[in-house]
Homo-oligomer: A and B are copies of this chain.
Amino acid sequence: MNYYSGRMGELIEQLATLPGIGTKTAQRLAFYIVSMPVDKVEKLSKTLVETRKNVRYCSECQTLTDSEKCPICSNPKRDHSTIMVVETTRDLAAYERTGKYNGVYHVLHGAISPMLGVGPDDIRLKELMRRLQGDVKEVIIATNSTLEGETTAMYISKLIKPTGIKTTRIANGVPVGGDLENIDEVTLLRALEGRTEL
Contact = CB atoms under 8 A, between A and B. Distances in A.
Interface core residue of A41, A45, A66 (most chain B CB under 10 Å): A45
A142 to B, nearest CB: 15
A65 B4 CA distance: 8
Interface string A39-57: 0011111111111111100
Interface size class of A (residues with CB under 8 A): 35 or more
A21 B44 CA distance: 14
When all copies of this chain in the complex are counted, the total is: 2
Interface string A91-135: 011001100000000000000000000000000000000000000
A64 B8 contact: yes
Contact of A33 (B52, B92, B93): B52
Interface in A35-93: 36, 38, 41-55, 64-67, 70-71, 88-90, 92-93
Contacts of A21: 29
Contact of A46 (B28, B45, B66): B45
A34 B53 CA distance: 8
Interface of A: 3-8, 10-11, 14-15, 18-21, 25, 27-34, 36, 38, 41-55, 64-67, 70-71, 88-90, 92-93, 96-97
Q: Which 4 A-B pairs have the closest CB atoms?
A: A6-B66, A3-B93, A3-B96, A45-B45
